[in-house]
Structure 1
């Protein structure tokens, strides 16, 4: 950011220089002024927009006019093209001095008729005593083929009779006489004195303009240092998600907010900021740059510059993926966050997959069409091509992932190569949610778990009773959104049911609140002293523990698509084995808990309500009535939640399997063990998958040749998908592989499962 970005070394040098001058309290001497002015000029020439650094108490227009004296303005040194001469041009011409035009053999342009022309001998005059004296003031114009008087053209006040100060002379026959007459002109001699005087003062750097310029540059350095400190405070507060403002914005007043307090803190140790605050308090300056307006402006400038750098990285990578999520803010307005993921190709030695948060976008229409239109507008604003999207990932809301009207479907209609990958952890979460809501017994179980926590946490006295009996894990509240985190709540009860039961009995016996007493007795009887609840503890603990482990693995940065699918298949196999052989083991675990609690490890036998059968009803419908309580629990509860889990996992992760079939041969070095015929078949399949209209991301023949090279050149220990592109770039740089499109860098990493990870953002 040209207006506000300040290099540290430059600021330190300027800081030391400014502090020394303030400490001494002395005016700068001429040499010091010259050095400071030159440094300041070099610094401020790099600024593209100096209007953002307005001086306090200094006229900006005056400062600009003074600075123009030192800038390399566009001056044509041919005297015939000087035109109107202002102070700036006059100073620049005097500094440059008269330029003598010399040509070989005096081949100046000749008159058409007489053949006369200008001669360089006229640059000198012959004195009566035979001496020769240089006419420094005489200059020749190549453009006009005329001669002029340098000093008279620059310093004349009134029109002169001689043409040397006006339009020039090209009367070559009478020129020597006119030059002698001009030398004797008193006004010419006066202009020579003015010329020499200005030249001497410029060399001594003692002009009034120079002194004013030095003061202005000193003031600009001070403002630059102040602005650097203000930016540092803004960045610190933003980085830590801290509030800026208080109830007022006045310096050295209470409740003026963290921004003002940090500025005051800096002033205690920093002479620059201390002097600035003194001027603010004494009202010596009007523009102090400490209000909320400058804070917001700086945040906006910093954010825009960062966003522009991100955009450049995305354009260099070409292909990118998008991650969208919507949530209401505190003002109950729907905000959509947009994250873009791409392969960082800037570092020649390392391939990195990076995510960039691009901000929150207010949305009014949360339908699939409304969100898609908002996404399109955002990509247009960022100047990103929607055809370059190669991946999309959202939560599992119908407006996002809907197969017919969701955002992913509408984006696929525009760009069929924007492959949709659901969020794996969110998908696991929804699978658990489906299980927990699939039957009444499951809903009741988690209701009891939450009530146990609510009862103890509702009073400090009841929590003290809990700590008296429970020395291990304390009960945890159930998370509303993250079902896999329920493992902590279930673990706390399963590991110490006897202690929790005793704590509930203590509360039911000692509580003076009838409602609390009744609730404690109810939880003790219906939950911790109920055999079905104890078995449910064992079932859900086993399920949640496995799902939570898989969820943690899927969130690791190094996970890729193939390993993610392996973990999901392992989870599905776990549920299948649990359904076939796990029930009896869970019954034994439940019996162990029942012994600890001191209850009979048996299912409650409930009276079967019999009703009159109609003549056309099948007798087989009464078969369930003959089932034992254990068998009925197994069929109506255990099998029910396990079957629901298997159905949800297979349906929700079906898309992953499809992508593994297409990109799988590139993952973890599988292509090294595939025959050439099979490899060519996979390459052709991938080319077909990445074709759309007349565009194609890859060509099967070229990809096949590159993979053949890699098979022979890659080390045997390089098998991870993320490591293969690293070696690919090394081999490419050494010229061992043809410089093609770099498919592996784009696609092996691009289909990586870590696409689904999200980064927290503290400030948009």
Structure 2
């Protein structure tokens, strides 16, 4: 029961509550729930139905409602109840919609209502007599001028903290009393050299300096609170919510879970907001699910649980248990496996199953390793090739992609580089022998073929990965991207004849080779292409609730005008019962039959078209479906990006910071654009800082 609700105030009168409770209720203001009032009236022989509307509350700022009695009450009269207060507006309530305006006008003209309103207004403030005193007013004015000055100084300090947070800079030095007090203190001193008011404050302040470790932590807490409240407010005003979660172990061997919220804001922009790093006692399904449930309960109130429609994790086995436990509380929170992870597995399996291909990539990794172990060899590389070889990673999504591009582009230069090392006479026999081997490999017919082959394939892998990592990606766009990727691989497979001929031109022939190397190359390359296409179909198969994406796939619109996808529509309604079947079907018929819509390239573009042309009332259900598809995340790319910030904020030398400080610094870095867009950010932080605890220095206006 809310403190400011009618039932609460009737059960526990305002006059019998503590001062803290009274102040809190006054700040909350009147409770304004949705009432289920419907009344049948007759006027001149015609029947009318009058229903409750939220606009009624806007006509009178003193009106409050009660869901239990389904009636309206007067908030000031309910609280103060001076002598002569009309009990109709404090005990029984008014439920007559037809005469509500008339009764309201009559009530607000009564002396008791005016007196109750006046008493409530001055509650917690100085008496009227005191405020009319000239000396008191002068003192108030001086106090407020001093508070304004102190707030400006504190705002400068907050700006310095925002700067350090945005660029992941260490705020504290090893010893703040030494010549190296840290970046934050140095930045404050630099700003003070440009701002005389701040400089005077730092030199003369005796009570509150503003740069102490305690104040830093308190300000960071306030910043974190302001940003989280803003994100929660955006989430609660959005229609749907999804979460992206990924886990890692930080430098202090502490298990950290990154929680990212995905939703569409009031301006129809897709937002992926970092919410926090969750420190876990253990990396188990129970521990992760419990932590996520606690966070979601704080973000979404009980009546908004249906907004949570999707949860996305990586392929770890523990996450399969997490999604099942989450669906026990949120049954419509469908699970989506991260679509970026399978891409790495597809390429890795396609390049490790065939012995000759595995040998090729092992050899390719040896080039970078050869130069990384010797600065003198690297010096020759810089002079002859003028391009470094990137170190390959066996866990990266595009493993060896950069190496393939570099070796293919600079193959002739690399041959000259290795020959220079051989002929130099300045290197040891082991290095000379290795350089000779690499030079021969670059001339080898098998190596040249696979270099050309994977140079053709890897750009398509890179392109698909870039698409999967975009924030504005949706399931419709992903499906189109995957289909295009499969078509591109099939084209490469069809062109293997010319590729085999091209790689066999020039170059040395191996001493012992297969009777027909071109046939062997074609067979291996065809097998690689087949593996990639097959694994793509398997690992990127759409689950039942994502089949709804085909309803808005533009290349099928013409087909749908002939045969409407009834089965897909039924599956969509089963997954998302919030949608209206008949209305959605009618809207889709209109979209399919309009040729201009066939140029649509994805759900995001279609939603923007509807919103920019004010078509919300025409395509109500289609817009809801679009928002569901767009809100549903396809990857855990954003949580993984958060870990790069975690590595910078929590380093080996800064691994004992509190968890709240870690979250605050991470939030300032990851969501720096949000901080800059909030024009009143500093003022909100100061307001929280002022009331956080009793202070000797005041920052509150009178």
Query: C-alpha offsets along residues 448-479 of structure 1, whole Å, 9 cap, x if unaligned?
Result: 222211222333321222233325x4422213
Q: 1:604 to 1:495 in 2, by over 3 A?
A: farther
| C-alpha distance in 1 between matches for 2:636 and 2:162 | 29
Cα offset, 1:273, TM superposition: 0.8
Query: What corresponds to 1:704 in structure 2?
Result: 585
Cα offset, 1:698, TM superposition: 1.6
Q: 1:226 to 1:459 in 2, by over 3 A?
A: same
Query: What corresponds to 2:500 in structure 1?
Result: 587
Q: 1:739 to 1:714 in 2, by over 3 A?
A: farther
Query: What corresponds to 1:22 in structure 2?
Result: none
Cα offset, 1:585, TM superposition: 2.7
1:245–1:259 CA contact under 8 A, matched in 2: yes
Q: 1:502 to 1:533 in 2, by over 3 A?
A: same
| C-alpha distance in 1 between matches for 2:442 and 2:528 | 21
**Aligned with 1:533 (options 423, 447, 452):** 447
Query: What corresponds to 2:40 in structure 1?
Result: none
Query: What corresponds to 1:724 in structure 2?
Result: 606
**Aligned with 2:402 (options 481, 485, 488):** 488
| C-alpha distance in 2 between matches for 1:277 and 1:218 | 19
Query: What corresponds to 1:388 in structure 2?
Result: 307
**Aligned with 1:371 (options 262, 279, 288):** 288
Query: What corresponds to 2:508 in structure 1?
Result: 599
Query: What corresponds to 1:417 in structure 2?
Result: 332
| C-alpha distance in 2 between matches for 1:723 and 1:355 | 18
SS at match of 2:173: coil
1:322–1:338 CA contact under 8 A, matched in 2: yes
1:687–1:700 CA contact under 8 A, matched in 2: yes
Question: 1:610-689, aligned counterparts within 5 Å?
Answer: 631=519, 635=523, 637-655=524-542, 658=544, 661-668=547-554, 674-675=560-561, 678=564, 682-689=568-575
Alignment pair present for 1:501 and 2:415: yes
SS at match of 1:674: helix
Query: What corresponds to 1:275 in structure 2?
Result: 200
| C-alpha distance in 1 between matches for 2:573 and 2:528 | 42
2:240–2:263 CA contact under 8 A, matched in 1: yes
| C-alpha distance in 2 between matches for 1:671 and 1:454 | 52
SS at match of 2:175: coil
Q: 1:756 to 1:338 in 2, by over 3 A?
A: same
Q: State the TM-score, normalizing by the size of structure 2.
A: 0.66
1:424–1:756 CA contact under 8 A, matched in 2: no
Tell me the C-alpha RMSD between the 2 structures: 3.9
| C-alpha distance in 1 between matches for 2:418 and 2:621 | 71
Cα offset, 1:628, TM superposition: 5.1
| C-alpha distance in 2 between matches for 1:243 and 1:417 | 43
2:579–2:624 CA contact under 8 A, matched in 1: yes
Bigger drift between 676-685 and 646-655 goes to 676-685
Q: 1:341 to 1:260 in 2, by over 3 A?
A: same
| C-alpha distance in 2 between matches for 1:314 and 1:497 | 53
Q: 1:585 to 1:227 in 2, by over 3 A?
A: same
Gap regions ≥5 residues in structure 2: 1-25, 28-79, 84-114, 116-128, 646-665, 668-702
1:322–1:339 CA contact under 8 A, matched in 2: yes
Q: 1:376 to 1:265 in 2, by over 3 A?
A: same
Query: What corresponds to 2:109 in structure 1?
Result: none
SS at match of 1:372: helix
Gap regions ≥5 residues in structure 1: 1-46, 49-75, 80-141, 143-198, 607-626, 691-695
Count of matched residue pairs: 524
| C-alpha distance in 2 between matches for 1:539 and 1:669 | 31
2:309–2:332 CA contact under 8 A, matched in 1: yes
Q: 1:740 to 1:506 in 2, by over 3 A?
A: closer
Query: What corresponds to 1:352 in structure 2?
Result: 269
| C-alpha distance in 2 between matches for 1:589 and 1:740 | 55
Query: What corresponds to 2:150 in structure 1?
Result: 223
| C-alpha distance in 1 between matches for 2:212 and 2:637 | 40
1:671–1:679 CA contact under 8 A, matched in 2: no
Q: 1:296 to 1:670 in 2, by over 3 A?
A: farther
Cα offset, 1:324, TM superposition: 0.9
Query: What corresponds to 1:746 in structure 2?
Result: 627
1:710–1:728 CA contact under 8 A, matched in 2: no
Q: Tell which structure's C-alpha radius of gyration is larger.
A: 1
Q: 1:651 to 1:546 in 2, by over 3 A?
A: same
| C-alpha distance in 1 between matches for 2:620 and 2:379 | 70
Q: State the TM-score, normalizing by the size of structure 1.
A: 0.61
Query: What corresponds to 1:547 in structure 2?
Result: 461
Cα offset, 1:424, TM superposition: 2.9
SS at match of 2:170: coil
Query: C-alpha offsets along residues 275-306 of structure 1, whole Å, 9 cap, x if unaligned?
Result: 111114xxxx1331211221122112111111
| C-alpha distance in 2 between matches for 1:203 and 1:557 | 58
Query: What corresponds to 1:455 in structure 2?
Result: 370
* More relative contact order, 1 or 2 (CA 8 Å, 6+ apart): 2
Bigger drift between 723-732 and 257-266 goes to 723-732
Query: What corresponds to 2:110 in structure 1?
Result: none
Query: What corresponds to 1:477 in structure 2?
Result: 391
| C-alpha distance in 1 between matches for 2:381 and 2:348 | 29
SS at match of 2:247: strand
1:560–1:754 CA contact under 8 A, matched in 2: no
